[in-house]
């Protein structure tokens, strides 16, 4: 897992050196860690600490405004409890009130945040962390544009009011997150300092050992058919069949580096650059044994900022990046992100069990909204 010190980009002393490192990292793995990012370590520590304190509150003090699951009514902000495995999340976005679509209807994913009462520290610190990581995402996007041979200012007008949602996660011991790709442009993730758990999918050419069968990593969540999409299950199955494509599926642990952010490219960016920087499948596994420390009986807390362009931005590869013979996909940012939220919500709430059916329904919902296919 590449580690890139971006201080030389931010202070202007060696921007090109950093851009080349980012290009190498994003092309090879689609995941990398950044240090020297300028977000104060104290802010990182206190946000994580306050997130831990928030999740430790009694249940009735977490359900902000009585809202127990994220959804349309809350602009996908607030607290969520996952009854299937007791995971919890708390989410905020940019404060963007009064935004409407062409028909005058309120724009989904926009609005105000919902805060638990009586905890101003939590509100101020989480807001400051959201602002700092959103700014970092903007800067990284400039470097990634450069790494693709574009003007570093290329995205500036497309991320004026970005869909930048920060999700605080609580994983009780033994809980996991199924393999998936993120939906947006970039994710800025802080792992728990106590233990890792994040793993990324990697394909490698197996060493040929005459007469020996290749081992194939089996993924439990895929075998169970739980919250995973059919496409991802198929992709993993394909990667796990050495006889077909001479590759073997490897899950790489993402090591915990204190105060480093894990950065990964999401589906929208992958579409934009025609997979020059791939959106890599990742998952969370309960792996305390790897880093045995006394804290491991505590829940795992991670902070994920999902960063995507403004609602109305159409993501389409610029001519300079178009590979001959590759079909063009064009996607509108807002409906695409909403599609992801919607189908996951249908599945998480148990309203629709089958992922494909959930996606079909979410697609119908959002095509009514925007007339776009996400």
Q: Cβ 306 to ligand AKG, closest distance in Å?
A: 7
Could you say whether residue 177 binds ligand AKG (CB under 6 A)? Answer: yes
Asked whether the beta carbons of 50 and 170 are under 8 A apart, the reply is no
Among 232, 256, 271, 284, binds ligand AKG (CB under 6 A): 284
Could you say whether residue 182 binds ligand AKG (CB under 6 A)? Answer: yes
Q: Cβ 260 to ligand AKG, closest distance in Å?
A: 13
**Which one, 49 or 61, has the nearer CB to ligand AKG?**
49
Place of tokens 């993501």: 315
Q: Cβ 264 to ligand AKG, closest distance in Å?
A: 8
Question: Which residue of this chain has its Cβ atom nearest to ligand AKG in the complex?
Answer: 302
Q: Cβ 302 to ligand AKG, closest distance in Å?
A: 3
CA distance 127 to 121: 10
Could you say whether residue 282 binds ligand AKG (CB under 6 A)? Answer: yes
**Which one, 50 or 262, has the nearer CB to ligand AKG?**
262
Q: Cβ 199 to ligand AKG, closest distance in Å?
A: 9
**Which one, 299 or 334, has the nearer CB to ligand AKG?**
299
In 3D space, the residue among 269, 245, 112 whose CA is nearest the CA of residue 188 turns out to be 269
Among 75, 191, 221, 280, binds ligand AKG (CB under 6 A): 191
Q: Cβ 345 to ligand AKG, closest distance in Å?
A: 14
Could you say whether residue 341 binds ligand AKG (CB under 6 A)? Answer: no
Asked whether the beta carbons of 221 and 227 are under 8 A apart, the reply is yes
**Which one, 198 or 279, has the nearer CB to ligand AKG?**
198
Asked whether the beta carbons of 44 and 34 are under 8 A apart, the reply is no
CA distance 363 to 361: 5
Could you say whether residue 304 binds ligand AKG (CB under 6 A)? Answer: yes
Could you say whether residue 189 binds ligand AKG (CB under 6 A)? Answer: yes
Q: What are phi and psi of 14, to 5 degrees?
A: -155, 60
**Which one, 134 or 191, has the nearer CB to ligand AKG?**
191
Which DSSP string do the residues of 274-340 spell out, in sequence order? TTSS----EEE---GGGG--GGGGSPEEEEEEEEE--TTPEE---GGGPPTTPPP--EEHHHHHHHH
Give burial (CB, 10 Å; 0-12/13-18/19+) of 162. Answer: buried
Among 46, 113, 302, 344, binds ligand AKG (CB under 6 A): 302
Mapped onto helix, strand or coil, the DSSP state of residue 202 is strand
Q: Cβ 162 to ligand AKG, closest distance in Å?
A: 17
In 3D space, the residue among 279, 261, 283 whose CA is nearest the CA of residue 270 turns out to be 279
Residues at the interface with ligand AKG (CB under 6 A)? 167, 169, 177, 182, 189, 191, 198, 282, 284, 302, 304
């Amino acid at each position: 897992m590449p580690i890139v010190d971006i201080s030389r980009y931010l202070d202007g002393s060696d921007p090109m050196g950093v851009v080349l490192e980012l290009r190498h990292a994003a092309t090879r793995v689609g995941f990398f860690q950044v240090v020297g990012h300028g977000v104060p370590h104290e802010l990182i520590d206190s946000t994580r600490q306050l997130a831990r304190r928030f999740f430790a509150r009694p249940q009735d003090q977490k359900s902000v405004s009585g809202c127990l699951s994220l959804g349309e009514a809350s602009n996908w902000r607030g607290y969520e409890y996952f009854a299937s495995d007791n995971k919890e999340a708390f989410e905020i976005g940019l404060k963007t009130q009064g935004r409407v679509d062409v028909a005058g209807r309120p724009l989904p994913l926009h609005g105000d945040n919902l805060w638990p009462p009586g905890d101003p520290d939590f509100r101020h610190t989480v807001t400051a962390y959201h602002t700092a990581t959103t700014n970092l995402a903007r800067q990284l996007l400039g470097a990634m544009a450069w790494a693709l041979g574009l003007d570093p200012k290329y995205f500036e007008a497309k991320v004026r009011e970005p869909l930048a949602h920060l999700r605080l996660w609580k994983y009780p011991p033994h809980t996991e997150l199924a393999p998936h790709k993120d939906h947006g442009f970039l994710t800025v993730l802080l792992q728990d300092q106590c233990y890792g758990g994040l793993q990324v999918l990697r394909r490698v050419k197996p060493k040929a050992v005459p007469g020996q069968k290749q081992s194939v990593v089996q993924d439990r969540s895929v075998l169970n058919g739980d919250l995973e999409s059919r496409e991802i299950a198929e992709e993993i199955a394909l990667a796990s069949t050495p006889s077909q494509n001479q590759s073997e599926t490897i899950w790489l642990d993402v090591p915990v580096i204190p105060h480093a952010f894990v950065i990964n490219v999401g589906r929208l960016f992958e579409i934009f650059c025609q997979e020059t920087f791939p959106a890599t499948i990742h998952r969370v596994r309960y792996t305390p044994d790897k880093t045995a420390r006394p804290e491991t009986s505590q829940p795992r807390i991670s902070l994920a900022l999902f960063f995507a362009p403004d609602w109305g931005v159409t993501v389409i590869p610029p001519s300079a990046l178009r590979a001959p013979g590759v079909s063009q996909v064009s996607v509108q940012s807002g409906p695409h992100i909403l599609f992801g939220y919607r189908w996951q919500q249908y599945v998480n709430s148990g309203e629709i069990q089958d992922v494909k059916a959930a996606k079909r329904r979410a697609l119908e919902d959002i095509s009514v909204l925007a007339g776009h296919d996400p």
